[in-house]
Amino acid sequence: MRALIQRVTQASVEVDGRVTGQIDRGLLILICAMQGDTTAQADKLAAKVSKLRIFKDDEGRMNRSLLDIGGQALIVSQFTLAADTRRGNRPGFSSAAAPADGDALYQYFTKAVADLGIPTANGIFGADMAVSLVNDGPVTIWIDTEDQT
């Protein structure tokens, strides 16, 4: 699975002009299931995201996790994280999981994050979404579970 994580002071997602999810302080997590990804990878990614120490402590150092600060997570599916740009100027997305598998892993990942005690909000899988955020820092981190093995 691939995730682009942004530390935010607030974030929201709209579908057809209707807010489907919003958070205050926490993480905006753009997530993409890749072909062959499993629930075990989703569990590892959820644990990693929840414990990633990217929030400031009392001395201003990045030393606290989402769990430590009682933050929230806005989780948005984004198959374009599977973009292959090695050839030509038009990205290919064939390495992304099939839609049914991607949706199942997206839902599973969201539940895994929530089961860790983190309040979650979501976009809608496969929808055309408008995401708004206030990036805090800015702090933006890329995680690929393939790189974690």
Query: Which of 42, 41, 34, 36 is closest to 75 using CA atoms?
Result: 42
Specify the amino acid at residue 121. Answer: A
Neighbouring C-alpha atoms within 13 Å toward the C-beta of 7: 17
Q: 17: left (phi > 0), else alpha (psi -120 to 50), else beta?
A: left
Q: Under a CB-based contact definition with an 8 Å cutoff, are residues 23 and 37 in contact?
A: no
Given this model, what pLDDT does residue 27 score? 98
Q: Residue 21 and residue 27: Cα distance in Å, rounded?
A: 13
Mean pLDDT by 10 residues, the chain (149 residues): 98 97 98 97 97 97 98 97 93 95 98 98 96 97 85
Question: What domains sit in the chain, N to C, each tagged with a CATH number?
Answer: 2-85+102-148 (3.50.80.10)
Given this model, what pLDDT does residue 34 score? 97
Q: Which residues are catalytic?
A: 78-80
The structure's pTM equals: 0.95
Q: Residue 54 and residue 3: Cα distance in Å, rounded?
A: 15
Given this model, what pLDDT does residue 23 score? 98
Q: How many CB atoms sit inside 10 A of residue 117's CB?
A: 10
Given this model, what pLDDT does residue 147 score? 79
Given this model, what pLDDT does residue 146 score? 85
